[in-house]
Amino acid sequence: MTAPPLISPTRIYVEPAAAELPRGRAVLDRFPDAELVEVASHWQIPELHGDEANARRWVRIKREALVLGVKKSLSARPNGRSAHFIAPSTANGCAMACAYCYVPRRKGYSNPITVFANIEQITGYLARHVARQGPKAEPDQVDDHAWVYDIGENSDCAVDALVSDNVRDLVELFRDLPTAKASFATKHVNRDLLDWDPQGRTRVRFSLMPDRIARLVDVRTSRIADRIAAIDDFVDAGYEVHLNFSPVIVHDGWLEDWAELLDQVEAGIGPKAKAQLACEVIMLTHNEALHEVNLGWHPKAEEVLWRPELQQAKWSQTGGRNVRYRTGAKGRYVAALTDLIAERLPSCRVRYAF
């Protein structure tokens, strides 16, 4: 039996202004059999929020619904960790369903992909923003030479590329911007991207964690072995490829599992990939409300994600009560993992870890 496709829209919720733009029309043409539902705003579609207690239903919404909207406010926010700037989104939402994902808290539980049709405005804004920065004078942990723009903060670009050419347009934009790079983290291997000729100006950060845990918490994503197997191909196709070790989840035997993963990467990639390799390490942050929802559909995931004896709470302004590993212990976990990376995957520079 073949698995159903990750996304196969049968209903598209569309803002009229989006349908009038060339990209909007192209998305509608790509799915000619989908039923169209006119909406005033991509932010207010109650029937898409999903019933948090009914995982089967919200996963179906992820597969079958697509939203087409217009991104209203365009800004590039300073970041300084994974990138220098967070670019304005060309999509939000995701067809995957990782148990730890914070995205569902913003736009309802099922949170299918919303694709923004005003791509020309977004690429124009970005080109001007890059020009205003001028050349980058000093190397830093983000990049030696380029201003790096994260283009996938609120979605997974490799999946977005299944529904529109927005990500391709961004890759092509940055190809011609000698002082800047695009960057995105992904858990999906989309080999269509191999034909885009990015000429080193797009950094793909493949997210990795030990397969045993990924099978539990990374729902609807590409398997870890497939992500590792894609690294050399993406490097050969002209991408810079880094690793996003995130979220790092502490569980019984976690360092043994990480040693095995790092050995898999070491054995699975060639010298060209190793010569340009770097990673970021981000320990898990979880959330009490998400924990409650997950208990209803995926309690096994919560056995590794929700560990009150190891975690401490912090109230966030937007997302309620977050938990993270306790101060002190967390520093020891980070040190243990970065030491392990140095031992097992020595070609991989750690860009940052926290």
Residue 89 or 180: the one with the smaller Cβ distance to ligand SF4 is: 89
Asked if residue 194 lies in contact with residue 233, where contact means CB atoms within 8 angstroms, the answer is yes
Among the listed residues 19, 37, 103, 177, the single contact to ligand SF4 using CB under 6 A: 103
Beta carbon nearer to ligand SF4, 105 or 344? 105
> Cβ of 160: how many Cβ atoms within 10 Å?
32
The H or E element that residue 316 is part of is strand 311-316
* Per-position b or e across 36-67, b if 16+ CB within 10 A of its CB: eeebeebeebeebbbebeebeebbbbbbebbb
We find the least distance from the C-beta atom of residue 104 to ligand SF4, in angstroms, to be 8
In angstroms and rounded to an integer, the radius of gyration of the C-alpha atoms of the chain is 20
Interface residues for ligand SF4 in 1-30 (CB under 6 A)? none
CB 115 within 8 A of CB 167: no
Please pick, from the candidates 26, 101, 127, 289, the single residue that binds ligand SF4 as defined by CB under 6 A: 101
Neighbours of 210 (CB within 10 A): 22
Question: Footprint of ligand SF4 on residues 174-203 (CB under 6 A)?
Answer: 187
**Which parts of 60-99 interact with ligand SF4 (CB under 6 A)?**
94, 96-98
Q: Which residues contact 51 (CB under 8 A, 6 or more apart)?
A: 57, 58, 109
State the nearest-atom distance from the C-beta of 218 to ligand SF4, in Å: 7
SS3 helix, strand, coil % of the chain, rounded to 5? 40, 20, 40
- Minimal distance, residue 68 CB to ligand SF4, in Å: 19
Q: Nearest distance from residue 79's CB to ligand SF4, in Å?
A: 17
Query: Is the Cβ of residue 52 or residue 156 nearer to ligand SF4 in the bound state?
Result: 156
Site string for ligand SF4, 146-165 (x = CB under 6 A): ----------x---------
> Quick one: which of 114, 138, 82, 147 has its CA closest to 280?
82
Q: Does 216 bind ligand SF4 (CB under 6 A)?
A: no
- The nearest distance, CB 317 to ligand SF4, in angstroms, is 20
What is the smallest separation between the CB atom of 11 and ligand SF4, expressed in angstroms?
20
- The size of the interface with ligand SF4 (CB under 6 A), counted in residues, is 8
Length of the chain counted residue by residue:
354
Query: Which residues here bind ligand SF4, judged by CB under 6 A?
Result: 94, 96-98, 101, 103, 156, 187
